[in-house]
Structure 1
Amino acid sequence: MTRRHNVSRTRKDHMTATDAPPGSATRGVLRASRPRQWSKNLLVLAAPVLSGELTHGDVVWHTVVAFVAFCCAASGVYLINDAGDIEADRAHPTKRNRPIAAGVVSTRTAYTVGVVLNIAAVAVSFLAGWELAAVVATYLVLSAAYSRWLKHEPVLDIAIIATGFLLRAIAGGAASGIELSQWFLLSASFGSLFMAAGKRYAEAALTEPGLVRRSLTKYTPTYLRFVWTMSAGLLIMTYGLWAFELNDAATGSPLFVASMAPFVLAVLRYAVSIDAGVAGEPEEIALRDRVLQVLALVWLLLVAGAVYLG
C-alpha cells in the first residue's frame, strides 16, 4: 500500500499542464502570481505617510501607481522564478504544491505571463515619472540576477532580498518626488535586512536545507541568528534616533517618541516568529498575527497623529 501511495504521489508531482482540469490553469496562474504577497508592496506608503503629504491628491495617485507597478513586477518575478526552479520546487516539502511545480501551469505559460507583467510594471510606473520607472527596473534587474545566480551565493542572496524590500520603500518617495531622509533610509535598510535574514533562518530550519536552497548549506543557524539579531538592534537604534529628531522638528510633540514603544514591541513580536523558524514568508506573519497587527495600528496612529495633527 505504501508503494502504491508513493507511485501515485510521484505521478501527481509530474502532472503536466495538459492533464489539469479545464479552467484550473487560469486559477493556477493567479495562484502562482501570489496576490497574498502584494501586502509587501504596502511599503510604498512609508515615505508618503511619514512625510505628511499623503493628503495631497497627486501624491495619493502616484503612490497607487507605485503599488500597482510593484504588484505587477513582483508577480512577474514569481512566475519566472518558479518556472526556472521547477525541479528544485518539486523536491521541497511545501513548494511542490505550487501550480507550476505541480504541473497545473506550464513553464511556457509562466514565462510568457511573467514577461508581460514585467513589461506592464515598467509601463505603469511611467505614469508617476521616470524616477519610479528606474526603481522598478532596478528591482527587475536585481530579481533576474538573483534568480539566475545570486540566490546561490551566501550573504549576497540575503542582500538582494533585503534590497527588494528597500526598493519598495524608496519607490513611494520616487513616485511622489518626496526627499528621503538619511534616517528613513537607514531604518528601511536595517528593517529589510532583519526580514531577509529571518526568512533565511526559517528556511534553514527545514530538515534538509540543501534540497531547498544551495546557499543554505553554507550558513549556520548561529550566523543567521547573528545577522537578524544585529539588524534588529540597528533597526531599533536608528528608528529611535529618527524619532527624537522628528520630535524636535515637530516643536516638542511627544507622539514620535511615544511611537517607539509599539515599534520596538512589534520588532520583538516578529522576532518570536523568526526564532521559531516560521518567518519564511513575512506577509503571512503580518496577515496572521493579530497582536502584531494591533501594534502596527497603534504605531501608525501615533505617527499619523504626530505628522498630521502635531
Structure 2
Amino acid sequence: MYPDEPQASSLLVARRAGFGPGLLRDLIVAARPLQWQKNLLLYAAFVFSAGSAWAWREPEGWLPLLLLASAGFVLFNVISSGSYLVNDALDAEQDRMHPRKRLRPVAAGRITVQLAMSAGIVLVTGGVLLSFLLSWQFGLVALAYAALTATYSLLLKHLVIVDVLTIASGFGLRAVAGGVVIAVPISSWLVVCTLLGALYIAVAKRRQELTLSQAGHRDVLREYSLASLDQMSAVAGASAIVSYALYTVTAENLPDDNSMLLTLPFVLYGFFRYRLIAERYPERNADEMILSDAGMRVSVLLFAVTALLVLGFQR
C-alpha cells in the first residue's frame, strides 16, 4: 500500500459525504445573503417614528431603539436564510429545470438535500427561539413569519393568487416586527403600503418566471397568463402609490405641513423603474435590480435621506 492511499481514500469519502473546501461557501450562497435586504423593512418603524418616539438630538433615546431594530434585523436574516435552505431542499427537482435556479447549490448537487433541510431547520428554530429573548411579542411575530414561510414552501406556493398574497404577507410581517421589537405603535398605513408594494413585486416576479420558463418550472405558473399578471401588477402598483400618497398627507405621526410629499417622486420613480427593468431583464431577481441598477439605488437613497430629514428636523 502506498503512503498516499489512505489520504486519497479519505478525500473520496469526504466528497461522497458532501464535505469539502467549498461546502461553507456553498452554504452561504444557498442562504442567499443578498435577500437580507428585504429585512431592512424592520427599520421602517424606527425611521417613521422619528420625532414621536425619539429625537435626533437625544442619542440616549434613539440609540437603544436602533440597536433593538438591528438585533431584530439579524434574527430575521437567520430565519429567512433557514427558510430559503428548506425551500431549496423541497424544490430541488423543479429548480433543476429552471434556467437560473438550476445553478443554486442544492439544485446543482453541491449541497445535499438532507444537509440543506437540516441546516435550514436549525437556523429557523434557533432564530425563532432567540427572538423571544428580545420580547415575547417579537418572538410571536418571528414565529408567525417562520410558520408562514414554511406553509408557503409546503403548500401555499402551489395555489394561484394565494402564492403572491403570501409573499406580500411576509413583507407585512417584517414591517410589523420592526414596530414590535422597538415597542412603538404600528401604523396601519405602514402595513398597507408594505403589503401592496410587496404584492406588486411578487406579481412582477411571477411574470418574470412565466416569461423565462413558459410555465414548465412550476405548476402554478400554468394558472397565470402574461395578460392577467400585467393587470394584477397595474392594480397592485396603483393601489400602493395611492396609499402612500394618502399616507403622506393624512397620517397623524407626520408633519402637519405635508412635507412628506417630497418623498413621493422617489416612490413613483422606483415603481416605474422596477417595472421597466423587470420586463427588460426577466432573468434578474428583485434584489439584483435594486443593487445593480444605478437608478434604483439613487431613488432608494434619496427617499431614505428625504424621509429622515422631514421626520427628524421638521417635527
Question: Is the shorter-chain TM-score for this pair beyond 0.5, marking a shared fold?
Answer: yes
Deviation by residue 1:18-47 (Cα, 9 ceiling, x = unmatched): 286821222111111111111111111111
Q: Which residue of 1 aligns with 2:303?
A: 299
Moved over 4 A (4+): 246-249
Q: Which residue of 1 aligns with 2:112?
A: 106
Name the Cα RMSD after superposition.
Answer: 2.0
The amino acid that maps onto 2:202 is: A
Question: What is the CA–CA distance in structure 2 between the aligned matches of 1:143 and 1:248, rounded to whole Å?
Answer: 32
Given that 2:212 and 2:283 are in contact with CA atoms closer than 8 Å, whether structure 1 keeps it comes out as no
The reply on whether 1:196 has 2:185 as its aligned counterpart is no
CA gap 1:109/1:17 in 2 versus in 1, 3 angstroms: farther
The amino acid that maps onto 1:217 is: R
Shift of 1:200: 0.7
The amino acid that maps onto 2:172 is: L
Question: What is the CA–CA distance in structure 2 between the aligned matches of 1:230 and 1:137, rounded to whole Å?
Answer: 31
Counterparts in 2 of 1:123-202, with a 5 A limit? 123-202=129-208
Question: What is the CA–CA distance in structure 1 between the aligned matches of 2:244 and 2:283, rounded to whole Å?
Answer: 22
Among 258, 261, 279, the residue aligned to 2:265: 261
Q: Which residue of 1 aligns with 2:72?
A: 66
Question: What is the CA–CA distance in structure 2 between the aligned matches of 1:304 and 1:70, rounded to whole Å?
Answer: 24
Q: Which residue of 1 aligns with 2:35?
A: 37
Deviation by residue 1:146-171 (Cα, 9 ceiling, x = unmatched): 11111111001111111112211111
Question: What is the CA–CA distance in structure 2 between the aligned matches of 1:248 and 1:63, rounded to whole Å?
Answer: 19
2:240 alignment partner, SS class: helix
Given that 1:65 and 1:124 are in contact with CA atoms closer than 8 Å, whether structure 2 keeps it comes out as no
Could you list the runs of 5+ residues in structure 2 that have no partner in the other structure?
1-13
The amino acid that maps onto 2:274 is: Y
Q: Which residue of 2 aligns with 1:48?
A: 46
Among 307, 310, 313, the residue aligned to 1:309: 313
Question: What is the CA–CA distance in structure 2 between the aligned matches of 1:249 and 1:23, rounded to whole Å?
Answer: 53
Question: What is the CA–CA distance in structure 2 between the aligned matches of 1:178 and 1:161, rounded to whole Å?
Answer: 25
- When Rg is computed on C-alpha atoms for both structures, the one with the higher figure is 2
Question: What is the CA–CA distance in structure 1 between the aligned matches of 2:279 and 2:94, rounded to whole Å?
Answer: 26
The amino acid that maps onto 1:28 is: D
Q: Which residue of 2 aligns with 1:11?
A: none
Question: What is the CA–CA distance in structure 2 between the aligned matches of 1:195 and 1:221, rounded to whole Å?
Answer: 15
Given that 1:247 and 1:257 are in contact with CA atoms closer than 8 Å, whether structure 2 keeps it comes out as no
Given that 1:255 and 1:302 are in contact with CA atoms closer than 8 Å, whether structure 2 keeps it comes out as no
The amino acid that maps onto 1:104 is: R
Given that 1:199 and 1:279 are in contact with CA atoms closer than 8 Å, whether structure 2 keeps it comes out as no
Q: Give aligned pairs, total.
A: 293
CA gap 1:280/1:167 in 2 versus in 1, 3 angstroms: farther
Shift of 1:143: 1.1
The reply on whether 1:284 has 2:303 as its aligned counterpart is no
TM-score w.r.t. structure 1 length? 0.89
Given that 1:200 and 1:280 are in contact with CA atoms closer than 8 Å, whether structure 2 keeps it comes out as no
Question: What is the CA–CA distance in structure 1 between the aligned matches of 2:17 and 2:65, rounded to whole Å?
Answer: 47
Question: What is the CA–CA distance in structure 2 between the aligned matches of 1:279 and 1:239, rounded to whole Å?
Answer: 29
After TM superposition, the structure 1 stretch with the greater mean CA deviation from structure 2, 143-152 or 45-54, is 45-54
Shift of 1:277: 5.4
Could you list the runs of 5+ residues in structure 1 that have no partner in the other structure?
1-15
Question: What is the CA–CA distance in structure 2 between the aligned matches of 1:208 and 1:244, rounded to whole Å?
Answer: 43
Question: What is the CA–CA distance in structure 2 between the aligned matches of 1:248 and 1:127, rounded to whole Å?
Answer: 29
Deviation by residue 1:212-266 (Cα, 9 ceiling, x = unmatched): 11100000111111111111101110111111124995232x5311111111111
Q: Which residue of 1 aligns with 2:228?
A: 223
The amino acid that maps onto 1:219 is: Y
Given that 2:98 and 2:213 are in contact with CA atoms closer than 8 Å, whether structure 1 keeps it comes out as no
Q: Which residue of 2 aligns with 1:28?
A: 26
After TM superposition, the structure 1 stretch with the greater mean CA deviation from structure 2, 255-264 or 52-61, is 52-61
Deviation by residue 1:120-164 (Cα, 9 ceiling, x = unmatched): 111221232111111111111111111111111100111111111
The amino acid that maps onto 1:79 is: L
CA gap 1:99/1:249 in 2 versus in 1, 3 angstroms: closer
Deviation by residue 1:93-116 (Cα, 9 ceiling, x = unmatched): 111111111111111211111111
Given that 2:175 and 2:190 are in contact with CA atoms closer than 8 Å, whether structure 1 keeps it comes out as no
Counterparts in 2 of 1:62-101, with a 5 A limit? 62-101=68-107
Deviation by residue 1:33-70 (Cα, 9 ceiling, x = unmatched): 11111111111111110111475122112101211111
